[in-house]
């Protein structure tokens, strides 16, 4: 069974999540504070963690950092905090997704399934990825659309690679800037907007009706392209 840890200081939230998750076939463990969460993540062979940020002993963002020091287990934040800074801090610390309370259980289950499909962040990616008519050869760094070569700049390709190797994850502006441009560019979000616009144009994607790159307003972007078998 898939093993899930629910970390929240509110007993009613822990009970509600445990009941719903167990009803869907998950093996659920709970923790009421950050220290318990870190210990459970280290000892229990977990498949996924649901984490509240407002814990009584350690802030949830610090819990994420500590867990990330030894485990790639997917972490989904469930928090009442809805400020951009809180979301960015949690995602940059290593969270895989962020859901604001109050939440619907169907959304939580969908985020859980998506995170489990992605698997741990350390998985080796296949040499070639396909998203319908778009193909990306990660080994040769070649991109084609409808069988025709797509000419990307070095920066555009690095941005695309960051997206497709983290499918479905909410990637913050700061994370993408550090990943593609380097640590000195973490606050230069205008660079990112320009290059995302150019990348969308070359891939035939549109911000108003995205099939590949979804804008998460004021926070970042998410790759939503549906992977398909090569040649399909």
Q: Report the domain count for the chain.
A: 2
Residue 123 within any structural domain of the chain = no
pLDDT tens track for 16-45: 999 999 999 999 999 999 999 998 988 778
Record the tokens describing residue 82, joined without a space.
């809805």
In the predicted model, is pLDDT for residue 140 greater than 90?
no
The length of the chain is 232
Co-location of 109 and 18 in the same domain: yes
Co-location of 27 and 111 in the same domain: yes
Co-location of 132 and 112 in the same domain: no
Residue 231 within any structural domain of the chain = no
Co-location of 155 and 76 in the same domain: no
Co-location of 12 and 71 in the same domain: yes
Co-location of 139 and 111 in the same domain: no
Alpha carbon separation from 4 to 50, 68, 69, 74, 150 (Å, rounded): 8, 16, 19, 10, 41
Q: Are 51 and 37 in contact (CB under 8 A)?
A: yes
Residue 229 within any structural domain of the chain = no
Co-location of 111 and 174 in the same domain: no
Query: What is the pLDDT confidence band of residue 231, given thresholds at 50, 70 and 90?
Result: low
Q: What is the arithmetic mean of pLDDT over 86-107?
A: 91
Domain enclosing residue 203, as ranges: 128-223
pLDDT tens track for 152-208: 999 999 999 999 988 888 898 988 988 888 767 767 778 899 999 999 999 999 999
Co-location of 113 and 132 in the same domain: no
Q: Which helix (H) or strand (E) holds 214?
A: strand 213-216
């Amino acid at each position: 069974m898939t093993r899930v840890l629910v970390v929240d200081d509110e007993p009613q939230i822990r009970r509600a999540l445990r009941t719903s998750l167990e009803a869907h076939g998950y093996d659920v463990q709970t923790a009421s504070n950050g220290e318990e969460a870190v210990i459970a993540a280290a000892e229990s062979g977990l498949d996924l963690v649901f984490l509240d940020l407002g814990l009584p002993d350690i802030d949830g963002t610090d819990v994420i950092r500590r867990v990330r020091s030894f485990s790639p287990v997917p972490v989904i934040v469930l928090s009442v905090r809805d400020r951009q800074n809180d979301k960015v801090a949690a995602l940059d610390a290593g969270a895989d997704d962020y859901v604001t309370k109050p939440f619907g259980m169907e959304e939580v289950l969908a985020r859980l399934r998506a995170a489990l499909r992605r698997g741990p962040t350390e998985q080796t990616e296949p040499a070639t990825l396909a998203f319908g008519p778009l193909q990306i050869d990660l080994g040769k760094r070649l991109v084609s659309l409808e069988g025709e070569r797509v000419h990307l700049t070095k920066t555009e390709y690095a941005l695309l690679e960051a997206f497709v190797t983290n499918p479905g994850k909410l990637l913050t502006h700061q994370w993408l800037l550090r990943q593609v441009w380097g640590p000195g560019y973490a606050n230069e979000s205008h660079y990112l907007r320009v290059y995302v616009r150019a990348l969308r144009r070359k891939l035939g994607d549109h911000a108003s009706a995205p099939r590949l790159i979804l804008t998460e307003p004021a926070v970042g972007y998410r790759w939503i392209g549906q992977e398909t078998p090569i040649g399909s």
